[in-house]
Amino acid sequence: MGMAALGNRLYTGESSFDFVGKRKLWFTIALVCVAVSALLLVRPGLTFGIEFEGGSQFRVTGSTDQEGARAAVESVVPGAVPEVTRVGTNGVRVQIETVTTAELDETRQALATALDVPLENVTSSTVGPSWGADVTNKALTALVIFFVLVSVVMALYFRTWTMALAAMAALVHDLAITAGVYALIGFEVTPATVIGFLTILGYSLYDTVVVFDKVRENTTEAFTRRDRTFAQAANLAVNQTVVRSVNTTVVALLPVAAILFIGDLLLGAGTLRDISLALFVGTLVGAYSSIFVATPLLVALRSREPGVRALEAEVRERASAGEPVPAGAGSGGAAGGATAAGGATAAGA
């Protein structure tokens, strides 16, 4: 069965997967991933670039001798712990703590001599600790403002705080896991990384809003027709949008994967990794959270509301009286079951 045919069957209710009914499983997976990411952020922790921590940086073109570059820096600045990385196919980058102007010039000369390149092929720059702290504060401020504005807009757009809270929880989930991957791999966190974080949060939010729009449409109809529970209506909404989410994610990942795996790993363009890893991991995690976290969490948050409970009780009563359950509703943790492809129960999908 092709994706188009599957999407049509899911949209019409001929096939259904019980996303909402299995929410405890999805929540467990999400909590474990976030907990592991939190531990990784403590140890080994994130590796911040010079823009955040301050220090001196040297770029050498015309040589990729990382050991030679390390030895040259240590000969001028005894006790220094230089961080040497390859840049592109014909260069290296060296980062150390802030040094004096005299040491900066001596280190440039030492690198040129040790790596056998002209002096003009060695560039240097210094970032003071106060400037690095300022960049850090602005990055954190940008994230806080993003979350505040998104919360307000979501609450106003959907006219309910529960959808805003569920969307924010999904965004925190995405950010935590992406940061955990950075800590695990050891990639540097730079301003470009922060841009990548904000980009994937926006992508994840867009995906969640599309699903929530369908949830609102289906649940409004359910309250009017009284033919399915809130959980069943929400589950149908996820089924109706899941193929679109998967297709969008795959299309978005293709260019990002080309940048990350071909541009960085194969061609050695290390400057691309700062943003490409955040986009790659964040896009994957964002697609997961929009399907398996946001809507199931919304159902859990609203399950105790009097109106939602009254609707569920009425649907249960109708089901016990032998009235047919709408196709594609899914169990949703409530009465009834939906048919999956081939006539199997959706709870077993």
Q: What is the CATH number of the domain that holds 120?
A: 3.30.70.3400
In a domain? residue 157: yes
Q: Tokens 């403002």: give the residue.
A: 145
**Of the candidates 271, 346, 204, which has an alpha carbon nearest to the alpha carbon of residue 49?**
271
Residue 330, pLDDT score? 55
Q: Tokens 């899911």: give the residue.
A: 10
Neighbours of 137 (CB within 10 A): 10
CA 338 from centroid of its chain's CA atoms = 31
Say if residue 184 is in the same domain as residue 163. Answer: yes
Residue 229's identity, in one-letter code, is T
* Torsions phi, psi for 233 (to 5 deg): -65, -40
Q: What is the pTM of this model?
A: 0.78
Burial of 18 (0-12, 13-18, 19+ CB in 10 A): buried
Say if residue 85 is in the same domain as residue 138. Answer: no
In a domain? residue 231: yes
Residue 73's identity, in one-letter code, is V
Rounded CA-CA distance 294/241 in Å is 13
Could you list the residue range(s) of the whole structural domain that residue 63 is in? 55-127
Residues 6+ apart with CB under 8 A from 83: 94, 95, 96
- Lookup: tokens for 331: 């169990």
Beta strands 188-189; 47-48: pairing state: parallel
Say if residue 65 is in the same domain as residue 190. Answer: no
Rounded CA-CA distance 185/281 in Å is 12
Say if residue 227 is in the same domain as residue 289. Answer: yes
Say if residue 26 is in the same domain as residue 160. Answer: yes
In a domain? residue 247: yes
The structural domain count of the chain equals: 2
Say if residue 258 is in the same domain as residue 303. Answer: yes
**Of the candidates 225, 219, 220, 211, which has an alpha carbon nearest to the alpha carbon of residue 332?**
219
Say if residue 98 is in the same domain as residue 164. Answer: no
In a domain? residue 4: no
In a domain? residue 211: yes
Q: Which of 70, 94, 127 is the last residue of a domain?
A: 127
Going residue by residue through the chain (349 aa), what tens digit of pLDDT does each one get? 566 677 677 777 677 899 999 999 999 999 999 999 999 999 888 888 787 877 888 989 899 899 999 999 999 988 888 888 877 668 888 988 888 888 889 999 999 999 999 999 999 888 876 776 787 788 788 888 888 888 888 888 888 889 999 999 999 999 999 999 988 988 778 888 888 888 888 888 888 999 999 999 999 999 999 889 999 999 999 999 998 888 889 998 988 888 877 766 665 555 567 788 888 998 999 999 999 999 999 999 999 899 999 999 999 888 887 766 565 555 554 434 433 333 333 333 3
Q: Which of 98, 127, 156 is the last residue of a domain?
A: 127
- Angle 143-190-56 (CA atoms, 0-180°, nearest 5)? 135
Q: Which of 81, 99, 127 is the last residue of a domain?
A: 127
**CB 182, CB 46: distance < 8 Å:** yes
Rounded CA-CA distance 50/47 in Å is 10
Q: Say how many CA atoms lie within 13 Å of 230 toward its Cβ.
A: 21
Cα-based distances in Å from 314 to 229, 247, 307, 311, 346: 9, 37, 11, 5, 22
**CB 57, CB 127: distance < 8 Å:** yes
Say if residue 89 is in the same domain as residue 17. Answer: no
Residue 135's identity, in one-letter code, is V
Say if residue 117 is in the same domain as residue 216. Answer: no
**Of the candidates 309, 333, 332, 335, which has an alpha carbon nearest to the alpha carbon of residue 324?**
335
Say if residue 183 is in the same domain as residue 78. Answer: no
Query: Three-state SS for 49?
Result: coil
In a domain? residue 222: yes
Say if residue 228 is in the same domain as residue 104. Answer: no
Q: What are the start-end ranges of the E strands in 90-154?
A: 91-96, 122-127
Residue 154, pLDDT score? 85
In a domain? residue 2: no
Burial of 239 (0-12, 13-18, 19+ CB in 10 A): buried
120 strand-pairing partners = none
CATH code of 289's domain:
1.20.1640.10
**CB 52, CB 136: distance < 8 Å:** yes
Rounded CA-CA distance 277/188 in Å is 10
Say if residue 193 is in the same domain as residue 165. Answer: yes
In a domain? residue 184: yes
